[in-house]
Structure 1
Amino acid sequence: MSDPEFSKTQYHAVAGTYDTQEGLYVPSNDLFQLSFGNNWTDAIENFKDAIEKVKVIALKTLIKQGNIWIAEAGQSDFTARLIKAIQLDLPEINVSKRIHVIQHSDWNENPTSTESLQFVKENSNDQKISDGNTVGNGTPGFRDPEYTY
């Protein structure tokens, strides 16, 4: 986001957006602070406050006729709750045309609650792209057992 070409892009990152997840959650607060400065929120610290903070940011964009793009790097539970909160404040907004969700991983979708996943798919422009954890599909293949870097 520091590239001059993206200098006018408004962004906000959210850490810890999962609801249920097998295995250890690895906090990434130092990385988020280094990467995003003050443009991030910790959902693990307080999930409800994180929804409220991100909702306020999203509402400003939507009111100015902008669109919201969500690159999910985790489960969809946070996104579902965020969209519901936006709908309560701006019921006239067509969220399926104004909120775009990009998901890259079956692994992220599997532990998402069925209700949340279905809600996101029905109430956003939900787009599935190639799984970035899988090897051999043109993505980084983050779960490659031979990855050594």
Structure 2
Amino acid sequence: MKNIALVLLTCLLFSCKSEAQETTKKETFEVTKTDTEWKAELSDAEYYVLRQAGTERPFSSALNKEYRSGTYHCAACDTPLFKSKDKFDSGTGWPSFDQEIEGNVAFGTDTKIGYTRDEEHCGACGGHLGHVFNDGPKETTGERHCINGVALNFKPDNE
């Protein structure tokens, strides 16, 4: 009898749904397009990351080794997101920055892999960029903005 009660209690606890799991507010963005329009404009890899919140393979982006001075823009809508002066080599396999261009990057919560992470997306179009962690350079912000290279376009300062 105790076992049955324990099983029922366990099932009840795991079936509870809190309000924190509800997403009732739909965020709106300045740049809005239909799914068909995004698919037509973006490469398959860009669409997967930016519109489906995917993740590119680590060490697959040429932007990992981009050392010129310039600005990193959203690959979907061309909004400037990060400055090269804020980029650092985190060794993780993704372009990493210690801060964003304030006001151009929006933040949310991602629980898709079983724990909560701070998600970053373009503040203008809502495209998924990556995640921010608190294990960046301590001498600056302490943040590591771990960004999918395919979500970015680099524009050198001298062009």
Higher normalized contact order (CA 8 Å, seq sep 6+, divided by chain length): 2
Quick check: which one's helix share is greater? 1
Structure 1 length-normalised TM: 0.31
Structure 2 length-normalised TM: 0.29
Structure of greater Rg:
2
